[in-house]
Every structure is written in structure tokens, then in C-alpha cells.
Amino acid sequence: MFGRVDQGRRRGRALLAWIGLLLFVVSFAWLQRLSPILGPQVDIRAPATDGPFALVVLDPGHGGQDSGTMKAGMLEKELAIDVAHRVERLLQLQGVATLLTRTGDTYISLADRAAVANAQRNCVFISIHFDDAARPAATGVETYYAAHQISNSTRAASWLPFLQRTSMESANVESQSLACLIQEALVTRTQAVNRGTTPQQFFVIANVCHPAVLVEGGFLTNADEMNKLATGDYREQIAAAISDGLMRYREVLQQQRTPLAVNLPGGE
């Protein structure tokens, strides 16, 4: 009695296995027939665009109650947003999507600026500033990158109090390359003194998990440079240089899958 039941169960299982196999073969054949109708299969892992970045986040420094450097009625926050809007226009003309961390004269914290970029999946981040110095002779353009930036994994785990942020920072060849290319274009376009590229752990770039640089487009404390910055033509050249550097960076990434640090004469 017991043996017969056992045998029956085994037959039942074998039958189920055959039915399962048959269903698998039939559904596979059905999907094969259906695929030309559905069109080519979409790989959901593919990036939104074929470029190395889908978006440029522009960060005009300061804003609102934080004017940045002020000299003879010229405010760093106003220069920064003017240049950011110019870069935005130039990039959009070339089909590159942009996003500004502020569009008006509003105060945005450094953490919120970084968060705008970190909410994006595939972007680069450009912070735009102008310089000041105690020495009026100080002049020129400079581009900063953070030698260490947070990574995506750092960001995901940053809420865990027992994880050390510093231990998860990633070395940063992309940002350095981007800084070098923008700096080269700035010097070419403006003919300003080349102060090179400098690694600096500025909060707003160190806390972005995408390639990020901070541009200092000249000294408000230098009379010659301030006179140039007062003209729309000069600010357009700064914007064009940032756009040139970004497009060149995109070309380099497209040419070589693993980005290499770009060494420039005069660059740090």
C-alpha cells in the first residue's frame, strides 16, 4: 500500500517535470517568434546617452545673503551666475543637457549644491567662482579639483555611523583631467595668467560623486582683471572656455574608455 503510493507520487513528479520542460520550450519558442515584433531588446543597463556623461551640473558660487567677493560694486555671486547662464546656453547649443544649482539670487548651502549633482546618475559638476587676494597684483585663472571625492558607495553607506568616510574616498583621475582641459581652454581663450590646476578638498567638489571641478575665473582684487570681467565679451570667453574644456573632456572619454590624466605644460 505504502509502496504503491510512493510509486504514484514518483510518476506524478516525473509528469510534472515533463510538463514543466514542455512549457519552457514552448514559451522560449514563442518569445523567439515575438522578438521581431517587439523590436530590438532594450538593455536597461545601457546609459541614457552614448556620451560619457548625460548632464552638466553648473554651480554658480554664492548667492542670496552670501555675495562672495565684493569689489567696487562688483559681486562675485552676480558674475558667477552670469557666466553659468552663458555656459548653459553654449552647452545647450551643442546638445548637452544642463542643470543649475541656483537660477536666481538665492542662498543654497554647499551640501545642497553637492546633493543636486549626487541625485543625478551620470553627470559632471562645474562650480564657478571668482577670486580675491590681499595682494592687488594677484591675477590669473585657476581650476581646482579634489584629489579625493566621495564615491557612489560612500554616499549609499554614508548614513551608517560606523563607516569611516575617509576610508571609502576614491582617487580621482577624471576630475583632474577635466580640470586640466578646462584650465587649458581658459588660458587659451582669456590669455590670462595660468595659475594651473590645484588639488584642493573644497567641500562642494569633494562631496560630489561625479567628476567635479571648481573654476576661479579671475581676481576681483586686481584692477586690470576686474575691468575685463566687467565686460560681457570677457565673461563670454570664460564661458566658452568652460564649454570647450567640457567638450574636449567628452571627446577624450569617448576615445579611450579608461580616462587618463592629461598633463599640461604649466599645469600643476
| Least distance to Zn ion, CB of residue 154, Å | 25
| Least distance to Zn ion, CB of residue 214, Å | 8
Stretch that binds Zn ion, among 34-42, 60-68, 143-151, 192-200 (CB under 5 A): 60-68
Residue 148 contacts by C-beta under 8 Å, 6 or more apart in sequence? 166, 169, 170, 171, 172, 201, 206
Q: Which is nearer to Zn ion, 218 or 245 (CB)?
A: 218
61 binds Zn ion (CB under 5 A): yes
Q: Which is nearer to Zn ion, 76 or 174 (CB)?
A: 76
| Least distance to Zn ion, CB of residue 130, Å | 6
Q: Which is nearer to Zn ion, 61 or 259 (CB)?
A: 61
210 binds Zn ion (CB under 5 A): no
Please say whether the beta carbons of 155 and 207 come within 8 A. Answer: no
Please say whether the beta carbons of 72 and 48 come within 8 A. Answer: no
Stretch that binds Zn ion, among 85-93, 96-104, 124-132, 189-197 (CB under 5 A): 124-132
68 binds Zn ion (CB under 5 A): yes
Bridge partners of residue 127, in order along the sequence: 59, 214
What 3 state SS string does 30-77 have?
HHHHHHHHHCCCCCCCCCCCCCCCCEEEEEECCECCECCCEECCEEHH
Nearest of 228, 124, 131 to residue 181 by alpha carbon = 124
Cell of 146: 579634489
Rounded distance, CA 199 to CA 179, Å? Answer: 10
Amino acid at the residue 240: A
Rounded distance, CA 96 to CA 90, Å? Answer: 9
One of 113, 129, 195, 248 touching Zn ion (CB under 5 A): 129
Stretch that binds Zn ion, among 62-70, 105-113, 166-174, 189-197 (CB under 5 A): 62-70
113 binds Zn ion (CB under 5 A): no
Footprint of Zn ion on residues 20-59 (CB under 5 A)? none
140 binds Zn ion (CB under 5 A): no
Q: Which residue has the cell 562631496?
A: 207
Q: Which is nearer to Zn ion, 180 or 215 (CB)?
A: 215
Residues that bind Zn ion in the complex, under the rule CB under 5 A: 61, 68, 129
